[in-house]
Amino acid sequence: MKAHDGLYIDGAWRPAAGEGVIEVVNPVDEQVIGRVPAGDAADVDTAVRAARAALPAWAATPPAARAARLAALRDVLAARKDEIAETVTAELGSPLPFSQLVHAGVPIAVAGSYAELAATLPFEEKVGNSVVHQEPVGVVGAITPWNYPLHQIVAKVAPALAAGCTVVLKPAENTPLTAQLFAEAADEAGLPAGVFNLVTGLGPVAGQALAEHPDVDLVSFTGSTAVGKRIGAVAGGAVKRVALELGGKSANVILPSADLAKAVGVGVANVMSNSGQTCSAWTRMLVHTDQYDEAVELAVAAAAKYGERIGPVVSARQQERVRGYIEKGVEEGARLVAGGPESPRDKGWFVSPTVFADVTPEMTIAQEEIFGPVLTILRYEDEEDALRIANGTVYGLAGAVWAGDEAEAVAFARRMDTGQVDINGGRFNPLAPFGGYKQSGVGRELGAHGLAEYLQTKSLQF
């Protein structure tokens, strides 16, 4: 798609207040593929005013009518699926088949799920002598990351619109073309002017202005825990609602009774998918000491298959960050069994699929989120040891448990301090709540739980 040289505010593309520009670069060949405006605080203010002005009419629109607009949005996204996939591939570097299946396919499904929920969710209920109403929170400031550029937008904007909120979106600066494509789709789907607004810009400028704006009622942010803490502090000072989906260091616990080959194979695929740029990736594989050496061999063989299939990471900065963690792993005494810090190609921001063995729980690579194709394999002595290691980070976003007996896996999963656990390779469910314990965040996305984030409660007594 061709980049717009304006911002989408109040139902139209209009010039930004300043002259700043963001260059969009293809991570595969490092070529500039587009330029978008770097909106500033003045642009954010214009967008928030438009959202505020549109709020009363949209909030008063019957849920069935809001559902119809969301269904139209889903249909436009579905009709433009190939263009979405090509755009994500161009600015994120994701291989095209993965872009089609995940980067385009998942958000279309999520948009459809919110069209259905908006039509069926009871926005009021009788409780004794009261009627409890669920009303929209108001104007939502949505700040989204680059790793799943359309999915993260839809996972915030669709439930906000279903709830009757209006939205100002500030997408990641690395992937603004996908956000512009979403704005086109929102326009084509017939959303009223001001209900959805897009301001492209830099995080410390436009993102901060949106988080701090006094007329934004809720800030929904997905990204690093460090930035999430700052947004939480700003929102707390203003007694403003926040939804934060932050980092992860998820454990993939393989119990001795599991099918080891399958658990390791799926585990490696999970980490290498999207070049490791997934907050919920199972980056710590926990294996019983008796099966450890075999698991390492299996992981090395599985990682080798990703050498040519894996895309780059998003930027030169991200490549440096991931390389730095790999070097740190070697420095701290972990055994490098696959990959390493050297770039496998002359051009593009590629990182080799990397596997570390002999990783101990206190090592940096076992504690901090790397956000690249790097797997750490840790050994445990018994189930209590595995649980202690699994729960032994500041994060609690996702995880996995494998066992020969499903009940055994479930019993272990119930004891994990984490928001989502896949049992024996359970499939992604767009209706299941997604979000974390501890420093992985506040609130949930997807399904009815995701919609609830954008509602506030009023009770009338009779």
Residue tagged 């926005």 (tokens): 123
Residue tagged 């080891």 (tokens): 260
Sheet holding 251-254, edge to edge: 335-338, 354-359, 374-380, 284-288, 251-254, 399-402, 422-423
Q: What is the H or E stretch that residue 24 is in?
A: strand 21-25
Active site includes 91?
no
SS3 annotation, 198-264: ECCCCHHHHHHHHHHCCCCCEEEEECCHHHHHHHHHHHHHCCCEEEEECCCCCEEEECCCCCHHHHH
Contact in structure between 144 and 38 (CB atoms under 8 Å): no
Catalytic residue among 212, 245, 369, 445: 245
Cα–Cα dist 449/123, whole Å:
14
Q: Which of 459, 440, 375 is nearest to 232 (CA)?
A: 440
Active site includes 245?
yes
Say which amino acid occupies 151: H
Q: Which of 111, 77, 103 is nearest to 188 (CA)?
A: 77
Catalytic residue among 165, 212, 279, 369: 279
- Give the single-character DSSP code of 191: P
Q: Which of 137, 322, 160 is nearest to 215 (CA)?
A: 137
Residues labelled catalytic: 245, 279
